[in-house]
Structure 1
Amino acid sequence: MLLRSIVFYFAAYVAFLVEGVLFSPVLLLPERYGWPVVHFWARSMLWLYRIICGIDEDIRGRDNIPDGPLLVAAKHQSAWETLRLVSLFERPTFILKRELLWVPLFGWYLWKFGQIPVDRGKRSKALAGMTERARRAAAEGRQIIIFPEGTRRAPLAPPAYRYGVVHLYRALQIPCLPVALNSGLFWPRRSIAHRPGTVTLSCLPPIAPGLEADAFAALLKERLEGETDAVIREAIARNPALRRYSAPGEAAAETG
Structure 2
Amino acid sequence: MVLLRSLLFNVVMLLSAAVYAPLMLPTVVLPFALRYRLISAWARFQLIVLKHLCRLDYRVEGREHLPGGAAIILSKHQSAWETIAFQGIFLPQTWVLKRELLWIPLFGWALALLRPIAIDRSAGRKAIEQVIEQGRERLQSGIWVVVFPEGTRVAPGTRKRYAMGGAVLAAETGYPVVPVAHNAGSFWLRRGFLKRPGTVRVVIGPVIDPRGQTAEAIIKQAEEWIEKKMVELEKTA
TM-score w.r.t. structure 2 length? 0.93
Q: 1:63: how far off?
A: 1.4
| Aligned-residue CA RMSD (Å) | 1.5
1:165 matched residue in structure 2: 166
2:225 matched residue in structure 1: 223
Deviates more, 1:104-113 or 1:38-47: 104-113
1:41-52 superposed matches below 5 A: 41-52=42-53
Q: Deviations over 1:67-107 (max 9, x none)?
A: 11201001000111111111222220100110111112222
Q: How many angstroms apart in 2 are the aligned matches of 1:142 and 1:29?
A: 16
SS in 2 for 1:226: helix
Q: How many angstroms apart in 1 are the aligned matches of 2:24 and 2:168?
A: 36
1:127-206 superposed matches below 5 A: 127-206=128-207
1:228-243 superposed matches below 5 A: 228-235=230-237
Residue-pair matches, total: 235
Q: How many angstroms apart in 1 are the aligned matches of 2:78 and 2:143?
A: 24
Deviates more, 1:155-164 or 1:221-230: 155-164
- Cα separation, partners in 2 of 1:198 and 1:122, compared to 1, 3 Å: same
Q: 1:18: how far off?
A: 2.0
Structure 1 residues without counterparts, runs of 5 or longer: 236-256
1:101 matched residue in structure 2: 102
Identity %: 36
2:13 matched residue in structure 1: 12
Structure 2 residues without counterparts, runs of 5 or longer: none
1:37 matched residue in structure 2: 38
Structure 2 contact 22–110 (Cα < 8 Å) conserved: no
SS in 2 for 1:190: coil
Runs of 4 or more above 4 Å deviation: none
Q: 1:212: how far off?
A: 2.5
Q: How many angstroms apart in 2 are the aligned matches of 1:69 and 1:177?
A: 10
Q: How many angstroms apart in 2 are the aligned matches of 1:174 and 1:32?
A: 20
SS in 2 for 1:131: helix
Deviates more, 1:209-218 or 1:67-76: 209-218
Q: How many angstroms apart in 1 are the aligned matches of 2:127 and 2:185?
A: 29
Deviates more, 1:73-82 or 1:207-216: 207-216
TM-score w.r.t. structure 1 length? 0.87
Q: How many angstroms apart in 1 are the aligned matches of 2:112 and 2:159?
A: 33
